[in-house]
Amino acid sequence: SAVISQKPSRDICQRGTSLTIQCQVDSQVTMMFWYRQQPGQSLTLIATANQGSEATYESGFVIDKFPISRPNLTFSTLTVSNMSPEDSSIYLCSVHSDRVNEQYFGPGTRLTVT
C-alpha cells in the first residue's frame, strides 16, 4: 500500500484568503485525486491530477477556485482560493494503485473558514 501525508493537518483561515494543501506519496503514482468532504457528508471528487498535464475537474469545481499542481509523480498541491465559510470541509488526497487496483487516502486536511 502507499503511504500518503498531507500538510497542514488542519487550519483556520479568514474568508477571502487562500490555502494550499500539500500531498506527498512515498512511491511514484500516475493518478492522484482530490476530494472534499463537507461536515456529515460523503466524499465528493474535486479533480483528478496527472503528472505533466492539466487537472481534470468534476462538475461544480473550477480551476480558478481550486488550482492544482502536479509537478512530479509523488507530489501534488490543491489550493482553495478566495475562501468562504462554505469551503469549510475536510480535503483529502488519494492515489490509485494500478498493481492492485485499490485506492489509498491521506489523513485529510480539516479546513475551517471564519
Partner 1 sequence: SQQGEEDPQALSIQEGENATMNCSYKTSINNLQWYRQNSGRGLVHLILIRSNEREKHSGRLRVTLDTSKKSSSLLITASRAADTASYFCATFTSGTYKYIFGTGTRLKVLA
In the complex, the residues that contact partner 1 under the rule CB under 8 A are 1, 31, 33, 35, 41-45, 48, 58-59, 90, 92, 94, 96, 100-108, 110
Contact 92, 34 (CB under 8 A): yes
Closer to partner 1 by Cβ: residue 18 or 93:
93
Q: In angstroms, give the least distance from the CB of 9 to partner 1.
A: 10
Closer to partner 1 by Cβ: residue 22 or 82:
22
H-helix segments, 1-114: none
Determine the 3-state secondary structure of 86 from DSSP: helix
Determine the 3-state secondary structure of 56 from DSSP: strand
Closer to partner 1 by Cβ: residue 33 or 77:
33
Contact 57, 75 (CB under 8 A): no
